Structure 1
Amino acid sequence: MSVYLLGRRIDCMNVSSIAETIKKACIENQKITLASYNIHGFNLSMQLPWYYRFLQDADITICDSVGILKAISLMGLDLPLDYRASYTLLMPKVLEICNQHELSIFLLGGKLEYLQNAIDNLKNQYPKAYFSGHHGYFDKEDPEANKAIIEQINDIKPNILLVGMGMPIQENWVHKHCGSLKVNTIMIGGAIIDRMAGIVPNCPHIISNAGFEWLYRLLREPKRLAVRYLLGNPAFMLHLVFARLNKFKLQVKITPKL
């Protein structure tokens, strides 16, 4: 099932279904792109036309926040919490599949030392999977730098490319270079590499399930996240209020399995 929240397509899938879809793409040598919506991403899609088109064109665009689920509910469709597919919940499932089927993952993003910590941690936890990567601190506008990284990825031909460079930088990079990448699944994961490295802690489930992960993140990184949350969250609510006042209807479509 896909819902269209203010015209934005969000694919309602639970974590197990997403992980199985990724496994299918890897084993059957398909190619898919997995993107996600949280409130910050939704706001960016209202501001950046290319970003909106990228998310619309992605093979799967999942719900990555309780705030999006609450917005869908406000527009008339109550969905269970199972449809919140954050990377904190999704990645352990995906990594277990990689370990079971001896699949490979290339991590693109993070500082060099954090990236190496993440790779070392993953190798210890999932010894049958294969991990490699490149840090995210390169000139995204330099054709030669991009060419070198793409060649490195394509030489390895990983089953999964996990890109974690922050919104909208990571989406822009994938948007520009997706066609050149020889991988089965592209996953766009924000700070997930830093979390794998143990640098950024996961939000406690009781807080994230209640819809207050944004507050947890804000309290930990107030300078970096103040604008995103203190301005972004009210802006998101205003979009919903105007949509309700104008009797904007939520669209729901049943989509076939990939």
Structure 2
Amino acid sequence: MLKTACTVSLKDYNIYNAELLKYEINDKILINTINQYSYCIAEKDAEFKKALQNSDILLPDGVGIVSAIKFLYNKNIKKIAGADIHHYLLQDLDKKKGKCFYLGSSETTLNKIAERISKEFPNIQVDFFSPPYKTEFSEIENNEMIEKVNAFMPDVLFVGMTAPKQEKWSYKHKNMLDAKIICSIGAVFDFYAGTIIRPNKFWVDLSLEWFIRLLKEPKRMWRRYLYFGPVFIKLILKEKFKN
């Protein structure tokens, strides 16, 4: 687990609170992100909560988490999105001529990712696998995914199966995977492939990335923001005034 000096506690979670450049990655580590949606889901899903709690690095991916820590403890932390850790790791791999593996999403998306990496980070070796799109994987399917990853032996394994499935899968199989870093980043697969356009830096800097995503994908995002937003606020207020 990450040293507590680099984290700030939010109820039952140790949230990463440092610059990415200041953290050296040596042993096998599991990186996850947490936002207001995953926080709410984890409160009702013990397996998901355990996966997040046992992250070696749990990144604050959302203005809701950053604001909650400020409100509860008067501490300022920096939002670090899945796209941020993805870019940071790719830069590092390119310098070291390393290897990365993408597990999840469709063949079309994965091919677009590989094509983009070949142009932007030519020193990186890339492989990928698209698992079946389903809620639960069979033992045979899990073993196939593990075998695909281990045959390539990546420095970094990116997992994109949507939350909470990707976090549960990564935590459950961490010790079976021959990868130095296991990183669950969900929608970043589509952002990097260009199949979904991430809001530009202007909106990100205004902390309104969530609002633009809601406008662009209302059917998929309304529940995450318009329903779970108030649920998250209620949970944080309960935590603030529990005594």
Matches within 5 A, 1:134-145: 134-139=129-134, 140-145=136-141
SS, match of residue 207 in structure 2:
coil
Matched, 1:165 2:155: no
Q: Among residues 113, 119, 122, which one is paired with 2:117 in the alignment?
A: 122
Matched, 1:13 2:18: yes
Cα distance per residue 1:100-140 (max 9 Å; x no partner) = 10010000111111111111111111111111101143554
- Runs of 4+ off more than 6 Å: none
2:10 and 2:171 map into 1 onto residues whose CA distance is 22
Equivalent residue letter for 1:181: L
Matched, 1:52 2:49: yes
Structure 2 length-normalised TM: 0.92
Cα distance per residue 1:152-176 (max 9 Å; x no partner) = 1101100000001110111121122
SS, match of residue 58 in structure 2:
strand
Instruction: Give the Å deviation of 1:207.
Output: 1.6
1:68 and 1:170 map into 2 onto residues whose CA distance is 20
Instruction: Give the Å deviation of 1:141.
Output: 2.0
Equivalent residue letter for 1:197: A
1:178 and 1:192 map into 2 onto residues whose CA distance is 20
- Specify every segment of 5 or more residues in structure 2 that has no aligned partner in the other structure, as ranges: 1-5
Q: Among residues 58, 75, 78, which one is paired with 2:75 in the alignment?
A: 78
Count of residues in Structure 1 that have an aligned counterpart in Structure 2: 237
Instruction: Give the Å deviation of 1:44.
Output: 1.5
Cα distance per residue 1:184-231 (max 9 Å; x no partner) = 000010111111111111222222232222111111111111111111
2:209 and 2:131 map into 1 onto residues whose CA distance is 25
Equivalent residue letter for 1:62: L
Alignment check: 8 A CA contact 1:64 1:85 kept:
yes
Alignment check: 8 A CA contact 1:36 1:61 kept:
yes
Cα distance per residue 1:31-88 (max 9 Å; x no partner) = 11011111111112211111111111111111111221111011122315xx211122
User: Root-mean-square deviation (CA), in Å?
Assistant: 1.5
SS, match of residue 3 in structure 1:
strand
Alignment check: 8 A CA contact 1:64 1:87 kept:
yes
Equivalent residue letter for 1:32: I
- Specify every segment of 5 or more residues in structure 1 that has no aligned partner in the other structure, as ranges: 248-258
Q: Among residues 93, 97, 115, which one is paired with 2:88 in the alignment?
A: 93
Matched, 1:184 2:180: yes
Structure 1 length-normalised TM: 0.87
1:34 and 1:88 map into 2 onto residues whose CA distance is 13
Instruction: Give the Å deviation of 1:244.
Output: 2.0
Alignment check: 8 A CA contact 2:40 2:228 kept:
yes
SS, match of residue 211 in structure 1:
coil
2:170 and 2:207 map into 1 onto residues whose CA distance is 29
